[in-house]
Amino acid sequence: MDVGQLKFDAQGLIPAVVQDWRDGTVLMVAFMNQEALQRTVETKSVHFWSRSRQTLWEKGETSGHRLKLKDLFLDCDGDALLVKVEPVGPTCHTGERACFFSRLDSPETKTSESWGGILERLYQMIQERKRQPSSDSYTSKLLEGGVDRILKKVVEEAGEVAIAGKGGKKDEIVYETADLLFHTLVALGYHGVTPQEVYQELATRFGKSGLRKGTTS
């Protein structure tokens, strides 16, 4: 392993941002030295250097909540690492999925709003409308209409994507695909299926080849 491009600090450490490779959630930030990085690459299980205990440690060595290495990147200056992983269980020692679960302006309140991206935010909104319907909310009306109304919209939007794709106009393809994704999220929310469950299914298929069900390459 060539670490010549990396800039370790005076203590021989480099910060490592750990990210869930499935949805981009930042799980934690810690430090690595050359040995921790070497062990991570060799074992495919993430290791760090503990600044408080002054020792090498493998994430999850006592809890079993390991981080399986999927990929490694360095930043433009070579002084930080991005570690893409598949987590086994919660990453945070508190039992939370990730260490970033509090807003700066309300640290006493737990939230999952730092996790994932726009699909997660939309899904959270859908769940909120499911719990507390609003009379002027399109999402609430869809959910109140039941599964048949929701699935009818999914089929309609899938058709619109096909028509846009046939037309070949990029802006129309983007617009109709956004509609399809949104209505699919409503269908998932109606059944209580989270985006993370779909990501996990895609993750199990990633890299598998062959002309059969359940492959992505």
Distance of alpha carbon 98 from alpha carbon 92, whole angstroms? 5
pTM of the model: 0.83
Which domains can be identified in the chain, with CATH numbers?
14-87 (3.10.20.810), 117-205 (1.10.287.1080)
pLDDT digits (tens, 9 = 90+) for 150-199: 999 999 999 999 999 999 999 999 999 999 999 999 999 999 999 999 99
Is residue 87 within 8 A of residue 20, CB to CB? The reply is yes
Distance of alpha carbon 152 from alpha carbon 154, whole angstroms? 5
pLDDT digits (tens, 9 = 90+) for 9-58: 999 999 999 999 999 999 999 999 999 999 999 999 999 999 999 999 99
User: Stretch 130-137: mean pLDDT, rounded?
Assistant: 95
pLDDT at residue 213, rounded to an integer: 64
pLDDT mean across residues, the chain = 94
Distance of alpha carbon 217 from alpha carbon 208, whole angstroms? 6
